[in-house]
Amino acid sequence: MHKESGAQAIIRELEGGYSIQSGVFSAVNSKVTVALNPLGQFEAKVDPAALSASELEALARVSAMSNPDLDEDVLGKILFGAVPGIRHERLLGYYSQIYAGYVKTGDFRATSSSGGLATWLLVQLVEKGLVDGVIHVQPSGGEDGLLFRYAISTTVAQVRAGAKSRYYPMDLSQVLRAAKEAGGRYAVTGIPSFIMELRLLAEHDPDFKHAIAYTVGLICGHQKSTKYAEAIAWEHGIKPGSLRSVDFRKKIEGKSADEYITELKGLVGGTETTLAKEATEVFVSSWSHGFFKAKFSDFTDDLFNETADVALGDAWLPQYAGDYRGTNLVIVRNPVIAKIIDDGLAAGDLHLDVLSPELAVRSQPGLVRHAYDELPYRLARADRRGAWRPAKRVGASEDIPFLRKKIQDVREQIAEQSHIHYQRAVELDDWSYFVRKMKPLVDRHSLLYAITDARRILGKGLPYLAKRAFRGIRRRFGLTDSPR
């Protein structure tokens, strides 16, 4: 079969809306600019007519969707394959240690979204002089319409001020330019596809190979647009344009780790107001619905940030999830990070339980099912439509249960239509328009889940009920020796 060129692939990737929009394209070619589009997503402006074939090929080489040769398996092997004692698991990628735990020292855990390991590790890298700065996410005040952006922190205080998960889009173009100009070595945080594109950039450009010293990866359900935060605020009275800050994960004493609240600050009727909302009070809160989801998130099979030096998430396991203070899942790949963690354990700064790879995978049931088990169906659906789609490490297949196909279909509709109907609702200045348009899809999603659950319970229960009935009949007609 004719293999398409990188130049062809990148054009189709952009046309199809599959790009990660991490900002690395601008780092490769300054003719590519990045801007927020009206749907609240970053978008690279690439004019194929203004770029030569070799320039387009260069973009493909740093794209997680169109790179012709390097996928996460190949890059993972280049990065970590030679680490003594390293192992590999299909979903986790390479790993040398896996833990569940949290930071014991100071208030790292209290001021972070989960167990605080991300911020603690970044602080260690700065304090030990292993990096000149940290490229991560800082609140940005909202003046230019953006609440968060990638920024370079050089002091421990700055690194600590950037703690917490930001369910918000951001791009790396400006910080990458600044880091290249300044020189030096940096630790970078990012969701899986961003880290993958940074690794591809480092393979492509020796300056970035030098600059990107360590990568601290986050596990990621999916990427949201800016409208996710805006919608939560609008539902509760802070109109679009009046939101000043969001804490997506405020821990509540006595609750379980996933019962965090969203805290919003903004203007309600001209008055500065702080709101705190539980997930049950927020129409767009369910991650399984996928409101405001970026398209690329449904076309990645990198669940555990396989090319990051360390991947961090939440240990969503029964033994940890009950603790409102948060517990990290920690997958270590780089020996320098392993040594920092060993030293932290020896000093009593960390509490970490060793976790098996099976338990690590089991800690992300929803993510594994949606992003991995059911990706083949999404690929097959794209193929059925005759559209271009990125090549993935899994093949296309329609072989998932009928109801799960329907759930995947309605999720696609929620993701796509939430962008469109929200934009219209803002034009109409009418939050209820958005709810009216989206509610039927949400209800269909709930109904499909209810049927799936009912079938599972009945599937388990029917043989048992049949056996009991059969035993009753035998007893009733004296066909049994003694009652059991």
Ligand X SMILES: Cc1cc2nc3c(=O)[nH]c(=O)nc-3n(C[C@H](O)[C@H](O)[C@H](O)COP(=O)(O)OP(=O)(O)OC[C@H]3O[C@@H](n4cnc5c(N)ncnc54)[C@H](O)[C@@H]3O)c2cc1C
Residues that bind ligand X (CB under 6 A): 112-119, 122, 136-137, 162-167, 189-191, 218-221, 223, 312-314, 328-329, 364, 367
Ranked by CB distance to ligand X, the top (closest) residue is: 313
Number of Cβ within 10 Å of residue 421's Cβ equals: 17
- Reference 268, options 243, 244, 237; nearest CA is 237
Of the pair 66, 114, the CB lying nearest ligand X is at: 114
C-alpha 311/C-alpha 217 separation (Å) is: 5
C-alpha 362/C-alpha 89 separation (Å) is: 13
C-alpha 34/C-alpha 32 separation (Å) is: 7
CB of residue 342 to ligand X, shortest distance in Å: 18
Of the pair 67, 189, the CB lying nearest ligand X is at: 189
Of the pair 76, 190, the CB lying nearest ligand X is at: 190
Cβ(452)–Cβ(369) below 8 Å: no
Cβ(61)–Cβ(55) below 8 Å: no
Of the pair 60, 201, the CB lying nearest ligand X is at: 201
Residue 292 backbone zone (phi > 0: left; psi -120 to 50: alpha; other: beta): left
- Reference 312, options 250, 223, 248, 220; nearest CA is 220
C-alpha 27/C-alpha 333 separation (Å) is: 26
CB of residue 217 to ligand X, shortest distance in Å: 9
Of the pair 192, 266, the CB lying nearest ligand X is at: 192
CB of residue 400 to ligand X, shortest distance in Å: 20
Of the pair 74, 368, the CB lying nearest ligand X is at: 368
Count, in order, helices (H) and strands (E) of the chain: 18, 15
Q: How many residues does the chain have?
A: 484
Of the pair 159, 233, the CB lying nearest ligand X is at: 159
CB of residue 26 to ligand X, shortest distance in Å: 17
CB of residue 98 to ligand X, shortest distance in Å: 13
What is the per-residue DSSP string for 302-360? --S-TTSSEEEEE--SHHHHT-TT--EEEEE--HHHHHHHHHHHHTT-EEEEE--HHHH
CB of residue 113 to ligand X, shortest distance in Å: 4
CB of residue 292 to ligand X, shortest distance in Å: 11
Q: CA-based Rg of the chain, rounded to a whole angstrom? A: 24
Cβ(53)–Cβ(71) below 8 Å: no
CB of residue 275 to ligand X, shortest distance in Å: 21
CB of residue 124 to ligand X, shortest distance in Å: 12
SS3 of residue 268 by DSSP: strand
Half-sphere exposure of 336 (CA within 13 A, CB side): 15
Of the pair 159, 442, the CB lying nearest ligand X is at: 159
What are the distances in angstroms from CA 420 to CA 230, 332, 425, 426?
A: 14, 40, 9, 10
- Reference 191, options 42, 342, 47; nearest CA is 42
CB of residue 356 to ligand X, shortest distance in Å: 17
According to DSSP, residue 396 is labeled: P
What is the per-residue DSSP string for 64-128? TTT-SS--HHHHHHHHHTTSTT-EEETTTEEESEEEEEEE-STTHHHHSSSSSHHHHHHHHHHHT
Of the pair 25, 431, the CB lying nearest ligand X is at: 25
Of the pair 239, 369, the CB lying nearest ligand X is at: 369
Of the pair 266, 326, the CB lying nearest ligand X is at: 326
CB of residue 473 to ligand X, shortest distance in Å: 50
C-alpha 72/C-alpha 195 separation (Å) is: 10
CB of residue 86 to ligand X, shortest distance in Å: 22
Of the pair 26, 113, the CB lying nearest ligand X is at: 113
